Structure 1
Amino acid sequence: MWIALLFPFTASAQSSFESITRAVKAGDYQNIHSILIQKQGKNVYERYFNGYTRDSLHDTRSAFKSVTSLLVGIAVDKGLISNIDQPVYQFFPENKAFAADPLKRQIRIKDLLEMRAGFDCEEWNDGKDCESEMEQQRDWVKFSLSLPMKHKPGTVWAYTSCDPMILSGVIEKASGMSVMDFAGKYLFTPPGDGAIPLDN
């Protein structure tokens, strides 16, 4: 939990923070890993719970989908991707899935960004959930590209982890580096600082 204080920091505020700590430790609030409170950019209260520390890593799951879209924007800005209307098949000339289903040749980067690629895969609304099956595969991008089509690309929204997975493959093909290395170099490393370690 992160809170930015917009009111004066006082001794009574410190007392309130300690009462929050007691309540979390007593089990009044479940699944709290940490509380960080800042005032004018400085930490005034920082506590960790349930075995977590400042250095504990968290599985960000779907939050990284937004990071992937940022990375696509960076790749476009650097000229590695011409624009978001570029067809995806151009990045995977060796993949036979595009020849097997001509509809797949219509998928653009924009369709993947908007989760409108048209695959028969949706993690909500009682659709075919492909994420669990994908996680059992060695090559997640290849698996995602092999999915059957259900809709014309760009026409129907369907929440799926496969679309951003293909985007990560596009970034890797366009940049010549892993998506994690690309993110570390261009997004998560401030100028002059060391790289922030990222894990797949």
Structure 2
Amino acid sequence: MSKLSLNELEKKLKGIRIEAFVIHKGDTRIYEYLKNKKVVEKPLKVNSITKSIVSILIGIMVDKGLIKNILESIQNYFPEILESNDPQKKEITIFHLLTMTSGLQIGNFQGSKNWVKYILEQPIIHKPGSTFQYNSGDSHLLSAIIQKISGISTASFAEKYLFHSLGINKYTWLKDPQGVNGGGFSISLYLEDMVKLGRAIKKLAGWER
């Protein structure tokens, strides 16, 4: 990128609500924008990047054989689905949650006393697998599945199999009323730890040069 284009980028970043923005090329940081110096001193709420982290953890579970098939029905983890009057709910798979194609109606589960129960009680408005809907509820169900399979919290699983290997030691991860780490938007990370995570994903995907 040219110096002129980076200057234009910075002007745009200043005009919107961006706390920090960095660009790496290999091991070299070629651009850095910080709203202020305090940005690097506290964990930043990374909102829906939480979804990506949860998806990575599902991938780790598959790699370790803890999940045999992402095409399996989630009724194996939420038996209450068997009591549903809607047979289509039994068709929802882990893959559908990962791709946000569960077909469940999007609801304001954050205001409920039991997030997982509220999400599962939403009606099916699209056949599972047929329609993409950006839905934090799907991601929260994934976090609940991670906890059910591992027997520990999603955060503890992340620490053991992802964070520690990357040197991520400080973060906050909010939980729902039942103690399930939020799957859709609940993590806060330090800027440099976000860089570590991003670079690790690039390497795994073969994008790092």
* Candidates 153, 157, 162, aligned match of 2:132: 157
Q: Do 1:104 and 1:149's aligned partners in 2 also have CA atoms closer than 8 Å?
A: yes
Q: 2: CA distance between counterparts of 1:40 and 1:110?
A: 32
* Candidates 37, 56, 66, aligned match of 1:70: 56
Question: Is 1:199 the equivalent of 2:173?
Answer: yes
By percentage of residues, which structure has more helix? 2
Q: 2: CA distance between counterparts of 1:110 and 1:92?
A: 15
TM-score w.r.t. length of structure 1: 0.69
* Candidates 85, 88, 96, aligned match of 1:103: 88
Q: Following superposition of structure 1 onto structure 2, how do residues 37-76 of structure 1 map, counting pairs within 5 Å? A: 41=27, 48-50=34-36, 52-76=38-62
1:28 to 1:70, Cα distance in 2 relative to 1, 3 A: closer
* Per-residue CA distance 1:50-70 (angstroms, 9 max, x = gap): 473312222211111111111
Q: 2: CA distance between counterparts of 1:117 and 1:102?
A: 13
Count residues with an aligned counterpart: 168
* Candidates 117, 140, 147, aligned match of 1:142: 117
* Per-residue CA distance 1:84-103 (angstroms, 9 max, x = gap): 1111010122x2x4321221
Q: 2: CA distance between counterparts of 1:197 and 1:28?
A: 26
1:48 Cα deviation after fit: 4.5
Fraction of identical pairs, as percent:
34
Segments of structure 1 that go 5 or more residues without pairing to the other structure are 1-5, 8-12, 122-129
Amino acid at match of 1:197: Y
Amino acid at match of 2:171: P
Segments of structure 2 that go 5 or more residues without pairing to the other structure are 175-209
The two structures, once aligned, show a CA RMSD in angstroms of 3.0
Q: Do 1:119 and 1:149's aligned partners in 2 also have CA atoms closer than 8 Å?
A: yes
* Per-residue CA distance 1:103-123 (angstroms, 9 max, x = gap): 1111111111111111122xx
In the alignment, what sits opposite 2:74?
A: 88
Structure of greater relative contact order (alpha carbons < 8 Å, 6+ residues apart): 2
Amino acid at match of 1:83: N
1:175 Cα deviation after fit: 0.8
Q: 2: CA distance between counterparts of 1:160 and 1:184?
A: 25
Q: 2: CA distance between counterparts of 1:139 and 1:175?
A: 21
| Structure 1 SS opposite 2:171 | coil
1:81 to 1:51, Cα distance in 2 relative to 1, 3 A: same
* Per-residue CA distance 1:18-39 (angstroms, 9 max, x = gap): xx7xx98xx9655453465778
